[in-house]
Amino acid sequence: MTPPPQPRAGAPTDLPEGDPFGPDNLPYGVCTTAEHPDRPHIVVRHGDFVLDAGGAAAAFGSAHADLLQQPLLGPLMAAGRPVWQAVRAELREWLTAPEHRETAARFMRPLSEVTMRLPFEVADYVDFYASEHHATNVGKIFRPDNAALPANWKHLPIGYHGRAGTVVVSGTPVVRPRGQRKPPHEDAPSFGPSKRLDIEAEVAFVVGTPSAHGESVPLSGFRDHVFGVTLLNDWSARDIQGWEYVPLGPFLGKSFATSVSAWVTPLDALDAARIAPPARDVPLLPYLEDSAEPEPGGIDLRITVSINGHTVSEPPFSAMYWTAAQQLAHMTVNGASLRTGDLYASGTVSGPERSQRGCLLELTWGGKEPLELPDGSRAFLEDGDEVTLSAWAPGPGGSRIGLGEVTARVEPSR
Amino acid sequence: MTPPPQPRAGAPTDLPEGDPFGPDNLPYGVCTTAEHPDRPHIVVRHGDFVLDAGGAAAAFGSAHADLLQQPLLGPLMAAGRPVWQAVRAELREWLTAPEHRETAARFMRPLSEVTMRLPFEVADYVDFYASEHHATNVGKIFRPDNAALPANWKHLPIGYHGRAGTVVVSGTPVVRPRGQRKPPHEDAPSFGPSKRLDIEAEVAFVVGTPSAHGESVPLSGFRDHVFGVTLLNDWSARDIQGWEYVPLGPFLGKSFATSVSAWVTPLDALDAARIAPPARDVPLLPYLEDSAEPEPGGIDLRITVSINGHTVSEPPFSAMYWTAAQQLAHMTVNGASLRTGDLYASGTVSGPERSQRGCLLELTWGGKEPLELPDGSRAFLEDGDEVTLSAWAPGPGGSRIGLGEVTARVEPSR
C-alpha cells in the first residue's frame, strides 16, 4: 500500500454545466505528484480536478479503502462487479452530497498538477478488427485482387494478440520504429525508419474479474468481467506491417507502442449510451447471437481524431459490427482464461463516410490522397506530429460522458 | 520471500554416469511439497533430485540467497548475466566439491516427492516460425496454390504474439478447445470441439534482463538478455486455426493452452552444443547478419516427441534456419522493449526427414496419412492422449545436457 500524498485543501467540486467528467462518469486513474513522484495512487477524475480516492476513502471510513489505497487499479479491478458498484456509489456520494463535499474537497487538486501513469498492469493485449467499414477499406487497399472482406469476417470477430509490454500511457512520446519494408516494385527489403507511420483510433475494454482456464465467458458475462473502457491508439507502421504480416499477422508493425488513455471509465457510466449494433448480414452461431446479450451490445461513443490540434476524423463507435461482449465471448470460447488487466481493443473505428475513417491509411487511401492540414499535407505522420483521440457518449438526462483523451507526439527514429 | 520447507537429510548427490541433469546442466524450477503446498520455492535439478536452492544458499552464506529464497525465478532472472554466472558457479560448487556435498545433501529430496509449478510469470509470449522444413510443409498443406514459403520468409524471422495468460506448466491437463471451424466443402462454419487437435514441438527462450523502450537489442546482446531455454508444446487446433487465421494470424486455434517444461536450463549449459545455422540462401540485412553473432547461432538439441509413450518424431533443432539471437534482434529492432519473463518460442521444429517433423499436421500430411501407433491410428490427437517432448544436447566432455520434459494429457471438451 502506498500512502497518498497530503492533499491541498479547498479545491472546488462544482463543475461547469455539461462537463463530460461529472458525477455520472467518475473514471479511475493513477497519478503521482511533484512532491511524491514515487507514490503512485488512485484518483478519480471530477471535471479538471482529481480526487485522491484512497485518502477520501479513509476519511469517510469506507469499507473499500484498502482497494483504493493502492498504487495500481488491479486489486479494485479484481474485486468484482458488486464491489465496483458499491465503490462507485460511494464516490458519487462523496462528490455530490452537500454534507460530504467539504471533506471531499480536501482530497482534490487540479488535474494539471499531477502526473498520470499507466493505471493497471496490462496482462494480455488483444486487438480486434470489428469495423466493417475499416476492414472493407483495408481489404481494398492491401489486397486489391481479393474480396475486400475475408470469408470469415461476418462469422467471427477477427482478432490477434498484441504486445502487452509496450502499452504506454497517454503523453508518452512514441519513437518512430525502424524495420524492414519492401515496396512492391523492389526485389528485396530495405531497412530504416518507417515511412508510413499511422494511427488507429480504437476503443478498448479492461478486464477486471478473471475467469477459469478451460471455461468460456458467455455473452451474459460481459458486465461481470469487464471493469471499464478506455481510448486506445494502435500505432501502426504500414510499410513494416505490409511486408511482415503474411501469414501470421501483424507483429513489429504494431509492437513498438500502443497508447492508452490514463483514464478508465466504468462500464456503468455508459448505460445511457447502449444501442443496438448494425443489422447482421449472416446468421451468427449461438455463442455470438445478439439476442443472448442482456442489453444492447453497441455503444454510442463519438470519437474525434486530431493531428496537431486539427480535427481529421470523427469515427462513430456506434457503427461497429461486432460488440464488445461478442469479442469477449469469442476470445474465451476455446477455454482461454481471462486475467485481471487483460486489455482488448475494438480495432480501428471507422464509419461509412470518409470523414469518419479512423486511420490515415484509410483517410489518405494508402497515402495516395494526402490530407491537407493547416501545417502542411500529410500522407502519413511526420516527426513531431501530436495525435490526440478524444470521445464522448450520451449520459443520463442529456449529460455527456467523456472518455479521457489519449495523446502522444512522434519522436524521430533513434 | 517464502521460507523453504525443511529438507530431508541424507539424500544422495551422486549421479549415474551420463545423467543428463548433472552438474553441467543445473536447470532452475519452482516447486511445492506436500507438507507446504502454499510455499513455492526455487529448486535446481540434480539427476532425479532437487536442491532447495534458497535453503542451500542460506546454509552456505551465499551473497545471492535473497534471489534464491523467492517463490518465482523473476528476481534472479532480472539480476543479469554476471549474477547468473556467479550463482551457477556457486551451485556447481555446492553439488560437486567434496567438502560441501554433505551440507548440500541436506537440502535435496527426490523429484518424485515435489510438485513442480510454472517457474516464472510469463510477460509477453511470442511464437516464431523458424524451421524452413516446417514452414515449407505447412505452406504446401494450407496454401497449396501459392509458393510454399512466403516471400518474406528468408528475409526475416516471422513471428506473432501468443497468449501469455494460458501458458501452463508441464503436467497440466489440456482441455480440447471448442470453436468455429469450416471445412472447405461447407458453406458456413459450425461450432464444436476441435477435430484436429495437434501439437507443435518447440524450443523456447526466457528473457531475464529487460531492455529500454525505444532501444533495440543487437545480435551481440543475446546472452546478456536471455536467461535460459525450455521445451514448449504449442498446442494447435488446426480446424479452428484454418478458418480464423486470415488475415491477422492464429488466435483461438492456439490461445487455449501452451505447455512449457517446469525446468529452465541456463544458456551457459548449452555452450558445447552451439553450432552454425544452415547456409543462407539470401543475404541478410545487417541487424540479422550471422557474422554479427559472437558465437555460432545454432544449438544442437535433439528432440523426441512421444504420444502415449511411443516415439513419433525426433526433430533436430540444429536444422532451424533462424537463430534465437536473430529472433531477439528482430523482435526488438522496432524499439519494442523486453521485460523479465518474456518468452519466445522457435516455432515447430522440423527436420528434412519425415521422421523429424514436429507436429501431426506434417507427420500425417494434414490428416491424410495417419500414424499407426500400437494403440491405434492417429490423424490428430484423441481425448486421453498424453504427449511428451524431451530433448538433450551435447555437453562438455561427451556429457549430455537434458532439457526438462514437457508433458500433458488431452481432456475431453467441456
Q: Is A88 annotated as a binding residue?
A: no
Separation of alpha carbons A379 and B225, rounded Å: 38
The residue of B248, B280, B339, B340 whose CB has the most chain A CBs within 10 angstroms, and thus the best one to mutate to test that interface, is B248
Q: Do B177 and A335 touch (CB under 8 A)?
A: yes
| Contact of B254 with B236, CB cutoff 8 Å | yes
User: What are A292-331's pLDDT values in tens digits?
Assistant: 999 999 999 999 999 999 999 999 999 999 999 999 999 9
Nearest to B339 among A165, A190, A243 (CB): A165
Q: Do B249 and A245 touch (CB under 8 A)?
A: yes
Chain A residues in contact with B160 (beta carbon < 8 A): 160-161, 248-251
Nearest to A336 among B158, B249, B256 (CB): B256
Q: Domain for residue B237, yes or no?
A: yes
Give the relative orientation of helices B81-96 and B98-105 as an angle to the nearest 10 degrees. Answer: 90
Nearest to B179 among A158, A175, A334 (CB): A334
Separation of alpha carbons A127 and A167, rounded Å: 12
Q: What is the pLDDT of residue A255?
A: 98
The CB-side HSE value for B30 (13 A sphere, CA atoms) comes to 22
Residues A51 and A194 in one domain: no
CATH number of the domain within which A83 lies: 2.30.30.230
**Distance (Å) from the C-alpha of residue A264 to the closest C-alpha of chain B?**
22
Q: Domain for residue A12, yes or no?
A: no
Whether the predicted pLDDT of A206 surpasses 70: yes
User: What are B133-178's pLDDT values in tens digits?
Assistant: 999 999 999 888 889 999 999 999 999 999 999 999 999 999 999 9
Whether the predicted pLDDT of B390 surpasses 60: yes
Q: Which of residues 111-150 of B touch A (CB under 8 A)?
A: 123-124, 126, 129, 142-143, 150
Residues B338 and B218 in one domain: yes
Separation of alpha carbons B195 and B172, rounded Å: 21
Beta bridge partners of B31: B41, B116
Tell me the count of A-B CB pairs closer than 8 A: 198
Residues B331 and B358 in one domain: yes
The residue from A57, A86, A117 where one domain ends is A117
Q: What is the pLDDT of residue A16?
A: 87
Q: What is the pLDDT of residue B9?
A: 41
Q: Does A192 touch chain B (CB under 8 A)?
A: no
Q: What is the pLDDT of residue A11?
A: 43
Instruction: Supply the DSSP string of A296-337, one letter for each residue.
Output: --EE--EEEEEETTEEEE--BGGG-SS-HHHHHHHHHTTSPP
Q: Does B287 touch chain A (CB under 8 A)?
A: yes
**Distance (Å) from the C-alpha of residue A88 to the closest C-alpha of chain B?**
29
Q: What is the pLDDT of residue B8?
A: 43
Q: Do B152 and A182 touch (CB under 8 A)?
A: yes
If DSSP states are collapsed to H, E and C, what string results for A9-42? Answer: CCCCCCCCCCCCCCCCCCCEEEEEECCCCCCCEE
Q: Domain for residue B3, yes or no?
A: no
Q: Is B386 annotated as a binding residue?
A: no
Q: Return all residues near B224 (Cβ < 8 A) that are at least 6 apart.
A: B80, B81, B209
Distances (CA, A) of B340 to A261, B10, B170, B386: 25, 36, 21, 31
Read off the pLDDT of each residue in A75-83 and give the average, rounded to a whole number.
98
Q: What is the pLDDT of residue A17?
A: 84
Q: Domain for residue B223, yes or no?
A: yes
User: What are B294-340's pLDDT values in tens digits?
Assistant: 999 999 999 999 999 999 999 999 999 999 999 999 999 999 999 99
Q: CA torsion angle for A280, A284, A287, A288 (degrees, to 10)?
A: -20
Whether the predicted pLDDT of A393 surpasses 80: yes
The CB-side HSE value for A10 (13 A sphere, CA atoms) comes to 0
Chain A residues in contact with B240 (beta carbon < 8 A): 334
| Contact of A388 with A405, CB cutoff 8 Å | yes
Q: Is B70 annotated as a binding residue?
A: no
Residues A113 and A130 in one domain: no
Q: Do B163 and A215 touch (CB under 8 A)?
A: no
Whether the predicted pLDDT of A40 surpasses 60: yes
Report which of B376, B349, B375, B383 is spatially closest to residue B363, judged by C-alpha positions.
B349
Residue B220 sits at the vertex; the CA angle it makes with B217 and B224, to the nearest 5 degrees, is 70
Instruction: Name the burial class of residue A374, with classes exposed (0-12), middle (13-18) and buried (19+) by CB atoms within 10 angstroms of its CB.
Output: exposed
- Find the domain containing B162 and state its range: 125-411
User: What are A150-190's pLDDT values in tens digits?
Assistant: 999 999 999 999 999 999 999 999 999 999 999 888 999 99
Q: What is the pLDDT of residue A184?
A: 83
* SS3 call for B88: helix
Beta bridge partners of B233: B201, B259
Q: What is the pLDDT of residue B23?
A: 95
Chain B residues in contact with A256 (beta carbon < 8 A): 334-336
Chain A residues in contact with B287 (beta carbon < 8 A): 191
Whether the predicted pLDDT of B13 surpasses 90: no
Q: What is the pLDDT of residue B25?
A: 98
Q: Does B215 touch chain A (CB under 8 A)?
A: yes
Q: Do B335 and A165 touch (CB under 8 A)?
A: no
Q: Do B252 and A331 touch (CB under 8 A)?
A: yes
Nearest to A336 among B123, B161, B163 (CB): B163
Q: Do A160 and B244 touch (CB under 8 A)?
A: no
Nearest chain B residue to A248, by CA: B249
Beta bridge partners of A302: A316, A392
User: What are A48-65's pLDDT values in tens digits?
Assistant: 999 999 999 999 999 999
Q: Do B164 and A124 touch (CB under 8 A)?
A: yes
Q: What is the ipTM of this complex?
A: 0.96
Whether the predicted pLDDT of B396 surpasses 60: yes
**Distance (Å) from the C-alpha of residue B2 to the closest C-alpha of chain A?**
20
**Distance (Å) from the C-alpha of residue A409 to the closest C-alpha of chain B?**
14
Q: Which of residues 332-351 of A touch B (CB under 8 A)?
A: 333-339, 342
Q: Is A127 annotated as a binding residue?
A: yes
Residues A32 and A159 in one domain: no
Nearest to B333 among A178, A215, A249 (CB): A178
Separation of alpha carbons B252 and B132, rounded Å: 24
Q: What is the pLDDT of residue A289?
A: 97
CATH number of the domain within which A336 lies: 3.90.850.10
Q: Domain for residue A3, yes or no?
A: no
| Contact of A50 with A97, CB cutoff 8 Å | no
Nearest chain A residue to B413, by CA: A214
Q: Do B160 and A338 touch (CB under 8 A)?
A: no
User: What are B203-235's pLDDT values in tens digits?
Assistant: 999 999 999 999 999 999 999 999 999 999 999
Whether the predicted pLDDT of B3 surpasses 70: no
Q: What percent of chain A has pLDDT over 70?
A: 97
Whether the predicted pLDDT of A5 surpasses 70: no
Order across the sheet with A310-313: list the strands.
A174-175, A400-411, A386-394, A302-307, A310-313
Q: Do A331 and B282 touch (CB under 8 A)?
A: no
Residues A98 and A129 in one domain: no
Whether the predicted pLDDT of A30 surpasses 70: yes
The mean pLDDT of chain A is: 95
Q: What is the pLDDT of residue A143?
A: 85
Which of the residue ranges A136-150, B79-93, B108-122 would you say has the lowest mean pLDDT?
Answer: A136-150
Which grid cell is B79? 539480476
User: What are A226-237's pLDDT values in tens digits?
Assistant: 999 999 999 999
Element (H, E) at B96: helix B81-96
Residues A222 and A99 in one domain: no
Q: Is B127 annotated as a binding residue?
A: yes
Nearest to B248 among A190, A249, A257 (CB): A249
Q: Does B165 touch chain A (CB under 8 A)?
A: yes
| Contact of B374 with B231, CB cutoff 8 Å | no
Q: CA torsion angle for B151, B156, B158, B163 (degrees, to 10)?
A: -160
Residues A99 and A142 in one domain: no
Q: What is the pLDDT of residue A13?
A: 61
Q: What is the pLDDT of residue A9?
A: 41
Whether the predicted pLDDT of A124 surpasses 50: yes
Q: What is the pLDDT of residue B2?
A: 44
pLDDT band at A3 (very low <50, low <70, confident <90, very high): very low
Q: What percent of chain A has pLDDT over 90?
A: 93
Element (H, E) at A75: helix A74-78
Residues A198 and A335 in one domain: yes
| Contact of A362 with A137, CB cutoff 8 Å | yes
Q: Do B334 and A178 touch (CB under 8 A)?
A: yes
User: What are B23-59's pLDDT values in tens digits?
Assistant: 999 999 999 999 999 999 999 999 999 999 999 999 9
Q: Is A254 annotated as a binding residue?
A: yes
Whether the predicted pLDDT of A396 surpasses 50: yes
Residues B224 and B335 in one domain: yes
Q: Do A189 and B124 touch (CB under 8 A)?
A: no
The backbone region for B384, taken as left when phi is positive above 0, alpha when psi lies in -120 to 50, beta otherwise, is left
Q: Does A285 touch chain B (CB under 8 A)?
A: yes
Q: What percent of chain B has pLDDT over 90?
A: 93
Q: What is the pLDDT of residue B17?
A: 84
Q: Domain for residue A19, yes or no?
A: no
Q: Is A6 annotated as a binding residue?
A: no
The CB-side HSE value for B73 (13 A sphere, CA atoms) comes to 34
Report which of B89, B251, B215, B256 is spatially closest to residue A256, judged by C-alpha positions.
B215
Nearest to A166 among B166, B190, B337 (CB): B337
Q: What is the domain count for chain B?
A: 2
Q: Do B155 and A189 touch (CB under 8 A)?
A: yes
Q: What is the pLDDT of residue A1?
A: 42
Q: Which of residues 92-111 of B touch A (CB under 8 A)?
A: none
Which grid cell is A407? 495523446
User: What are B241-287's pLDDT values in tens digits?
Assistant: 999 999 999 999 999 999 999 999 999 999 999 999 999 999 999 99
pLDDT band at A20 (very low <50, low <70, confident <90, very high): very high
Nearest chain A residue to B237, by CA: A334
Q: Is B348 annotated as a binding residue?
A: yes
Q: Domain for residue A16, yes or no?
A: no
Q: Does B216 touch chain A (CB under 8 A)?
A: yes
Question: In B208-330, at which residue ranges do the beta strands (DSSP E only) sit?
Answer: 226-233, 236-237, 258-260, 265-266, 274-275, 298-299, 302-307, 310-313
Q: Does A161 touch chain B (CB under 8 A)?
A: yes
Positions of A marked catalytic? 134
Positions of B marked catalytic? 134
How much helix, strand and coil, in percent to the nearest 5, is found in chain A? 25, 30, 45
The mean pLDDT of chain B is: 95
Report which of B386, B381, B396 is spatially closest to residue B194, judged by C-alpha positions.
B381
Q: Return all residues near B325 (Cβ < 8 A) that are at least 6 apart.
A: B219, B222, B293, B297
Q: Is B129 annotated as a binding residue?
A: yes
Instruction: Name the burial class of residue A397, with classes exposed (0-12), middle (13-18) and buried (19+) by CB atoms within 10 angstroms of its CB.
Output: exposed
Residues B70 and B143 in one domain: no
Residues B150 and B86 in one domain: no
Q: Domain for residue A88, yes or no?
A: yes
Q: What is the pLDDT of residue A351?
A: 98
**Distance (Å) from the C-alpha of residue A111 to the closest C-alpha of chain B?**
27
The residue from B117, B152, B181 where one domain ends is B117
Nearest chain B residue to A192, by CA: B334
The residue from A91, A117, A143 where one domain ends is A117
